[in-house]
């Protein structure tokens, strides 16, 4: 009897989690690994948030909550949307789930029918395409250009829309490139969204990690009409260094929220009651910790971009946000040393081969760009101290020097 369901044929384990697990395993064995793999801030969760969780346990908030989240956390999220984005939502337009990832999954399960198309600008976050496939939708990948700051152009969007298009995914700032859409570029896309009537899933999870005075916008903030067509996803993982607490949330159409609630009620029920109390302190409490972490990320970004661009053959963008860089190794892949390795290996993906050797021989974990739809690049997460950034980039430089021999 075949015990694996056919739906597994259309998805893969998340490559970022695979690389992170491999790096952690090697670290446990005592190897000195520098890991640019994991997409999580390295800071402790701020004290006032941890204290709120401890209090929640002591007060006995250890039982099931409403499936879509506690009224208190929903109120804090409603206030957050008003405070940060000038957006008005009712509590019944909010759903809280076990991480932004679950909210995104429930959104697509709740909105897609078999064959519905979802436009995903590439490079894209690893999970989008697989979540769409699991929901019986069809990912339509649109390649963006590094010299257009990895943005889908209005012309590209127009061309990609068909009668089967249900949704466009926008993720700004982006994982994996860190690129963010300025308001005027969103306005141009917004016109097409309005005239075509498609939905937009706006993944704002990196909203607060932005640099050089960049002003964050999303489509819902542009007009009441666009707000109706936009479903906003956000969460506490990245903003408050709370990846393990697993709280994400979505806001949008009441009917969609209700359907997501139904799906959640038959799968996980409510997210952890204690994590919800902590998230309430995070979203509704003092925001000074957010600026402290943001500043540290900005300094690290400056360091890593400069170091990478100093390596011959590496071309690294200067991201406006998130904590990733997406350097292109196009010239490195053309070196005789790398071509020789490619010939000898059964691995056909350039970025996978590079990352395999980088980890095995040079003890640095990075995620192959192919996982995000771009084999010419790598994704490095710089959520680590400056010393480790320098050590890790020096090892990448050493590998590239060796390939040039
Ligand atoms: C672009 C993007 N969206 C959503 C998520 C989901 O985060 P979480 O499930 O921890 O809220 C991540 C996490 O890596 C991400 O990078």
Select 6-44+289-403's CATH number: 3.40.50.300, 3.30.1330.50, 3.40.50.10860, 3.90.1150.10.
3.90.1150.10
Atom of ligand 1 lying closest to residue 247 CA: 11
Mean pLDDT of the chain: 96
Q: What is the pLDDT of residues 29-59, one digit of tens each?
A: 999 999 998 889 999 999 999 999 999 999 9
**Residue percentage of the chain with pLDDT more than 90:** 92
For residue 15, is pLDDT > 80? Answer: no
Of 18, 128, 202, 205, the one to substitute when testing ligand 1's pocket (max ligand atoms within 8 A of C-beta) is: 205
Q: Is 203 in the pocket of ligand 1 (CB under 6 A)?
A: yes
The predicted pLDDT at position 287 comes to 97
Environment class of residue 212 by beta-carbon count within 10 Å: exposed (0-12), middle (13-18) or buried (19+)?
Answer: exposed
The predicted pLDDT at position 303 comes to 97
What's the 125 CA to ligand 1 centre distance in angstroms?
Answer: 8
Return the domain boundaries, the chain. 6-44+289-403, 47-284
The predicted pLDDT at position 5 comes to 92
What's the 372 CA to ligand 1 centre distance in angstroms?
Answer: 14
Q: What is the pLDDT of residues 168-191, one digit of tens each?
A: 999 999 999 999 999 999 999 999
More confident residue, 9 or 301: 301
Cα dihedral 47, 49, 54, 59 in deg (nearest 10): 140
Q: What is the pLDDT of residues 355-400, one digit of tens each?
A: 999 999 999 999 999 999 899 999 999 999 999 999 999 999 999 9
Q: Is 99 in the pocket of ligand 1 (CB under 6 A)?
A: yes
Q: Is 243 in the pocket of ligand 1 (CB under 6 A)?
A: yes
Q: Ligand 1, atom 13: nearest CA belongs to which residue?
A: 39
Q: What is the pLDDT of residues 90-119, one digit of tens each?
A: 999 999 999 999 999 999 999 999 999 999
The predicted pLDDT at position 14 comes to 77
What's the 205 CA to ligand 1 centre distance in angstroms?
Answer: 6
Atom of ligand 1 lying closest to residue 40 CA: 14
Q: Is 117 in the pocket of ligand 1 (CB under 6 A)?
A: no
Q: Is 248 in the pocket of ligand 1 (CB under 6 A)?
A: yes
What's the 306 CA to ligand 1 centre distance in angstroms?
Answer: 27
Atom of ligand 1 lying closest to residue 125 CA: 1
From CA 259, how far away is CA 250, in angstroms rounded? Answer: 13
Environment class of residue 337 by beta-carbon count within 10 Å: exposed (0-12), middle (13-18) or buried (19+)?
Answer: middle
Do the Cβ atoms of 49 and 278 come closer than 8 Å? Answer: yes
Report the CATH fold assignment for 47-284.
3.40.640
From CA 131, how far away is CA 203, in angstroms rounded? Answer: 14
Q: Ligand 1, atom 14: nearest CA belongs to which residue?
A: 39
């Amino acid at each position: 009897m075949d015990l694996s369901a056919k739906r597994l044929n259309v998805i893969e384990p998340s490559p970022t989690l695979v690389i992170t697990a491999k790096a952690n395993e090697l670290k446990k064995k005592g190897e000195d690994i520098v890991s640019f793999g994991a997409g999580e801030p390295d800071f402790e969760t701020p004290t006032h948030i941890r204290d709120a969780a401890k209090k929640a346990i002591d007060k006995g908030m250890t039982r099931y909550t409403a499936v879509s989240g506690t009224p208190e956390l929903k109120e804090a999220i409603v206030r957050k949307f008003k405070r940060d984005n000038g957006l008005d939502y009712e509590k019944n337009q909010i759903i809280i789930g076990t991480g932004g990832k679950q909210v995104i999954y429930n959104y697509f399960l709740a909105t897609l029918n078999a064959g519905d198309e979802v436009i995903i600008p590439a490079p894209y976050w690893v999970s989008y395409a697989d979540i769409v496939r699991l929901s019986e939708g069809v990912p339509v990948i649109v390649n963006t250009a590094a010299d257009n700051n990895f943005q889908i152009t209005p012309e590209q969007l127009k061309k990609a829309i068909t009668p089967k298009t249900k949704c466009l995914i926008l993720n700004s700032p982006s994982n994996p490139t860190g690129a963010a859409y300025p308001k005027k570029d969103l306005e141009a896309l917004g016109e097409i969204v309005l005239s075509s009537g498609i939905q937009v899933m706006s993944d704002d999870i990196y909203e607060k990690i932005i640099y050089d005075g960049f002003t964050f916008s999303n489509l819902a903030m542009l007009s009441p009409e666009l707000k109706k067509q936009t479903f906003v996803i956000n969460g506490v993982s990245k903003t408050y260094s709370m990846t393990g607490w697993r709280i994400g949330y979505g806001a949008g159409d009441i009917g969609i929220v209700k359907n997501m609630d139904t799906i959640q009620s038959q799968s996980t029920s409510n997210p952890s009651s204690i994590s919800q109390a902590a998230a309430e302190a995070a979203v509704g409490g003092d925001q000074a910790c957010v600026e402290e972490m943001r500043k540290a990320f900005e300094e690290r970004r400056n360091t890593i971009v400069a170091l990478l661009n100093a390596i011959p053959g590496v071309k690294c963008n200067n991201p406006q946000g998130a904590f990733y860089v997406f350097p292109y190794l196009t010239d490195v892949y053309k070196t005789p040393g790398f071509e020789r390795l490619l010939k000898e290996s059964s691995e056909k993906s350039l970025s996978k081969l590079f990352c395999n050797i980088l980890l095995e021989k040079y003890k640095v974990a990075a995620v192959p760009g192919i996982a995000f739809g771009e084999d010419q690049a790598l994704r490095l997460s710089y959520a680590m101290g400056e010393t480790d950034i320098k050590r890790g980039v020096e090892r990448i430089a050493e590998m590239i020097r060796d390939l040039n021999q």
